[in-house]
Amino acid sequence: MMRSLWTAASGMKAMQFSVDTISNNLANVSTTAYKKEKAEFEDILYVTMQRAYSAENDQRPVNLQVGHGVVARATARDFSSGNFEQTGNLLDLAIEGDGFFAVRGVDGNIYYTRDGSFKVSMTPEGKMLATSKGFPVLDQDGVEIYFDGLMENYVIQASGEITYRDPETGEYLPTGQYIGIFKFDNPMGLEAMGGNLYRNNSATGEPISNFDSEDPSLVRSGFLESSNVQVVEEMVKLIVAQRAYELNSKAITTSDEMLQAANNLRR
């Protein structure tokens, strides 16, 4: 069987994976704080027919090798910041920098997100800051954030500090809590869990508090971060992937025709 059949087939599978990745980016073009992905590929094992060598009476300056195609290696996520859209809502928060908000899932584990479209959840303990799914938003110490007074009197500073404006004096009083912002040495290792949430692991390293960072992130109240997907860029990638898929399909057809011609030599 001709090696080109399997090589071209690996190319078609790789381009299908690329199209799947691009489609997911385009589907999330309006998702708050979504970070686009890029498929990365690597070539497969080579067969070496002759090696390069240098001898007294015989010189071969180059190798004679043939590859076996391509395989998907990784999906690299681009964590560059998207545009900030002003909403005017106190609890809509955007992060200026590399940080992530921390939330606690229903399983009790801590997850991280750039989506700052938070809400007030009415609980038996009081008014709690939460995500749209009701996951508690955590402060710098990993504790849930509650509001005791009127919501219109709360102000979230750029440092993430939650302050309360005294209606009588107009003075901003500290509440002792900060919106929890955390960074990672290797954010590329974060595992996407869906729902705009990420989970850290050994590849990311331990979360670094914003207080311990040399370049702390800032919190912008009344803003939301939009997706960083560029539609035109993704469309160009889609066209390239489609053409590459077609060319690999053509290579399979050509290999099949060559095999057919070889089988007909005895006729």
Same domain, yes or no: 161 and 193: yes
Same domain, yes or no: 143 and 99: yes
pLDDT above 90 covers a percentage of the chain that reads 73
Q: What is the pLDDT of residue 1?
A: 55
Same domain, yes or no: 128 and 160: yes
Same domain, yes or no: 155 and 208: yes
Q: Which of 137, 127, 138, 157 is nearest to 220 (CA)?
A: 157
- C-alpha span between 95 and 225 (Å, rounded): 8
Structural domain containing residue 47 = 3-79+229-263
Across the range 196-221, mean pLDDT stands at 93
pLDDT at residue 267 above 70? no
Same domain, yes or no: 95 and 26: no
pLDDT at residue 261 above 90? no
pLDDT per residue as tens digits for the range 132-161: 999 999 999 999 999 988 888 899 999 999
Same domain, yes or no: 91 and 137: yes
pLDDT at residue 56 above 80? no
Same domain, yes or no: 143 and 254: no
Same domain, yes or no: 191 and 253: no
- C-alpha span between 29 and 9 (Å, rounded): 31
pTM to 2 decimal places: 0.87
Sign of CA dihedral 184, 188, 189, 192: positive
Q: What is the pLDDT of residue 205?
A: 92
Residue keyed to tokens 């686009």: 36
Same domain, yes or no: 55 and 148: no
Same domain, yes or no: 37 and 58: yes
Same domain, yes or no: 96 and 174: yes
How many domains would you assign to the chain? 2
Give the contacts of 159 (CB within 8 A, at least 6 positions apart): 178, 216, 218, 219
pLDDT per residue as tens digits for the range 74-115: 999 999 999 999 998 999 999 999 999 999 999 999 999 999
Which amino acid type is present at position 236?
Answer: V
Give the model's confidence band at 256: pLDDT under 50 very low, under 70 low, under 90 confident, else very high: confident
Same domain, yes or no: 99 and 152: yes
Write down the mean pLDDT value for the chain.
92
pLDDT above 70 covers a percentage of the chain that reads 99
